[in-house]
């Protein structure tokens, strides 16, 4: 197995302290938002044999295994991250596989450069993702029931929100949610900014269930996404709990440190809380207007002490081992590629001693054993 050296991305919303605290390094004063582990061309992990992209390209069957290559092609299907949110991320959704393929082909046909700021689809893949909390973690996930969203908006006492309240009482529920989100995103920006300012002041005054939205408005004054955020469920994960975010589910991370795994894609359609491009017609094509519970996941026990976060996705499988000193050696050998990440204590993976934030890549079918006293996350695929 190969020890990984990983890139930390300094996005503006990142926490300046959470990742350094985990790694045991001094903060730089700059935001440290994500640490990427994998073979994404934007920031591939490095090994003694070269970048992980170069390693896999040299012998895909050896590194990924025949079954993984047959199912997903000659590339690592997932990207693993440490994610540290110090401020809210953009409110966003991801396309399903068919939508991504269609959108990518259309933008290619129209000759839109992949790096153009108004480009929606960077690739033809979907981007389901799973976020497992390492600390308390706040986020928004999926639509509230329209009646509950109407009560929340009505309780603010802001007259310019009344039309949205009335729309949310209409039926069917999916049509009501679609009409309100469309109205928010297409309204006059100056009028919306005034409504957002009054909404933010009311959230500050009322507190309670409104507190997360007051924080969002503080970071994004005047942004229509503040109003869209009020349509969504607020969820607070405890360490070890997770959220699965499938295609079309609007979501935003607000604050905390977690382990995130996703299909290897960059496709994001934004709804707000961002200065970046928002393509309203394409967004409305992709969003699933289905109210429901956010569906907090807890790991399910599997053999050999493994705890698995079950999802309906084959591109990735995330699990963890909580190891104790003097406990058994855990055999992690699989015929699929793996990345092992230590998040607590000290763990021995093969010949490598891992401390928090350190990781290794395990080629398919290579022997992999783990022991020690700590927490080890394990990322692989299902074939």
User: Two tokens at 313?
Assistant: 């996705």
Tally helices (H) and strands (E) across the chain: 12, 21
Q: How far apart, in whole angstroms, are the C-alpha atoms of residue 161 and residue 180?
A: 10
3-class SS letters over 290-306: CECCCCCECCEECHHHC
Q: For residue 270, indicate whether it is catalytic.
A: yes
Number of neighbouring beta carbons within 10 Å of residue 98: 10
User: In terms of Cα–Cα distance, which of 227, 81, 218, 82 is closest to 150?
Assistant: 227
User: In terms of Cα–Cα distance, which of 254, 61, 32 is closest to 141?
Assistant: 254
Angle formed by the axes of helices 146-154 and 173-186, nearest 10°: 40
- Would you say 242 and 132 are in contact if contact means Cβ atoms under 8 Å apart? yes
User: In terms of Cα–Cα distance, which of 266, 245, 250, 302 is closest to 131?
Assistant: 245
Say which of 270, 317, 334, 378 is annotated catalytic: 270
Structure letter (DSSP) for residue 307: E
Burial status of residue 115 (CB atoms within 10 A of its CB: 0-12, 13-18, 19 or more): exposed
Number of neighbouring beta carbons within 10 Å of residue 174: 15
- Would you say 211 and 221 are in contact if contact means Cβ atoms under 8 Å apart? no
Catalytic positions, written as ranges: 270
């Amino acid at each position: 197995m190969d020890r990984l050296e990983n890139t930390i991305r300094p996005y503006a919303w990142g926490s300046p302290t959470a990742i350094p605290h985990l790694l045991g390094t001094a903060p730089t004063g700059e935001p440290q938002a994500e640490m990427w582990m994998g073979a994404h061309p934007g920031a591939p992990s490095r090994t003694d044999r070269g970048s992980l992209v170069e390693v896999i390209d040299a012998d895909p069957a050896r590194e990924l295994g025949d079954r993984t290559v047959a199912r997903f092609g000659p590339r690592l299907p997932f990207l693993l991250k440490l994610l540290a949110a110090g401020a809210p991320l953009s409110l966003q959704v991801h396309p399903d596989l068919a939508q991504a393929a269609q959108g990518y082909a259309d933008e290619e046909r129209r000759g839109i450069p992949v790096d153009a700021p108004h480009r929606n689809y960077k690739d033809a893949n979907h981007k389901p993702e799973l976020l497992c909390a390492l600390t308390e973690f706040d986020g928004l996930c999926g639509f509230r029931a329209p009646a509950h969203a109407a009560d929340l908006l009505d309780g603010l006492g802001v007259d310019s929100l009344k039309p949205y309240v009335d729309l949310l009482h209409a039926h069917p529920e999916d049509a009501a949610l679609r009409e309100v989100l469309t109205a928010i995103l297409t309204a006059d920006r100056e009028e919306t900014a005034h409504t957002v300012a009054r909404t933010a002041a009311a959230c500050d005054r009322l507190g309670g269930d409104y507190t997360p939205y007051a924080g969002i408005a503080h970071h994004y004054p005047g942004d229509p996404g503040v109003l869209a955020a009020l349509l969504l469920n607020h969820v607070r994960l405890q360490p070890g709990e997770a959220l699965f975010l499938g295609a079309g589910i609007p979501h935003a991370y607000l604050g905390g440190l977690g382990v995130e795994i996703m299909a290897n894609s960059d496709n994001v359609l934004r709804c707000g809380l961002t200065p970046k491009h928002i393509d309203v017609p394409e967004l409305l094509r992709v969003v699933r207007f289905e109210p429901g519970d956010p569906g907090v996941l807890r790991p399910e026990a599997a053999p050999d002490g493994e705890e698995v976060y079950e999802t309906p996705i084959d591109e990735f499988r995330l699990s963890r081992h909580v190891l104790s000193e003097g406990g058994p050696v855990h055999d992690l050998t699989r015929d699929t590629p793996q990345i092992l990440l230590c998040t607590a204590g000290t763990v021995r993976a093969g010949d490598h001693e891992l401390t928090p934030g350190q990781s290794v890549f395990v080629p398919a079918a290579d022997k992999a054993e783990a022991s020690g006293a700590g927490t080890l996350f394990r990322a692989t695929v299902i074939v």
